[in-house]
């Protein structure tokens, strides 16, 4: 009886190891663009990016991600009463975000942290 249990255990372990080594069919994420963004889709992108900035309001152009799979954002510089930058030039960091397509899903990636968020209701096409 104990010999049967050992054989069963060896069989289960072998099956588990073999299935764990099976190749997966996960497609790699590819740079993507959108044809056009509706107001709600643009708001979704702005909300995701705003969350990455800790809730700071972000405004994207109406054509964001239509010509390129990436968008770069700089923080607004501080201006004096005449509209000139305070202390001359600024050294604000540039933040980059990429639109990616993986399978049928569209993702937004923060290039600084590599964090990705699945975008619901946004259809993207692989960038050329």
Is the pLDDT at 42 greater than 70? The verdict is yes
Provide the pLDDT confidence category of residue 30 given band limits of 50, 70 and 90: very high
Helices (H), 1-128: 2-20, 39-52
- Name 59's Cβ contacts closer than 8 Å, sequence gap at least 6: 46
pLDDT tens digits for range 46-69: 999 999 999 989 999 999 999 999
Provide the pLDDT confidence category of residue 43 given band limits of 50, 70 and 90: very high
């Amino acid at each position: 009886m104990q010999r049967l249990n050992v054989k069963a255990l060896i069989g289960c372990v072998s099956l588990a190891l073999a299935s764990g080594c099976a190749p997966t069919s996960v497609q790699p994420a590819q740079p993507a663009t959108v044809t056009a963004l509706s107001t709600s889709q643009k708001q979704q992108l702005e909300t995701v990016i705003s969350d990455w900035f800790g809730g700071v309001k972000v405004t994207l152009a109406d054509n964001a991600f239509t010509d390129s799979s990436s968008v770069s954002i700089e923080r607004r510089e501080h201006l004096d009463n005449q509209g000139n930058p305070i202390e001359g030039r600024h050294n604000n960091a540039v933040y980059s975000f990429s639109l990616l397509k993986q399978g049928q899903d569209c993702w937004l990636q923060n290039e600084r942290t590599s964090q990705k968020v699945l975008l619901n209701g946004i259809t993207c096409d692989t960038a050329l």
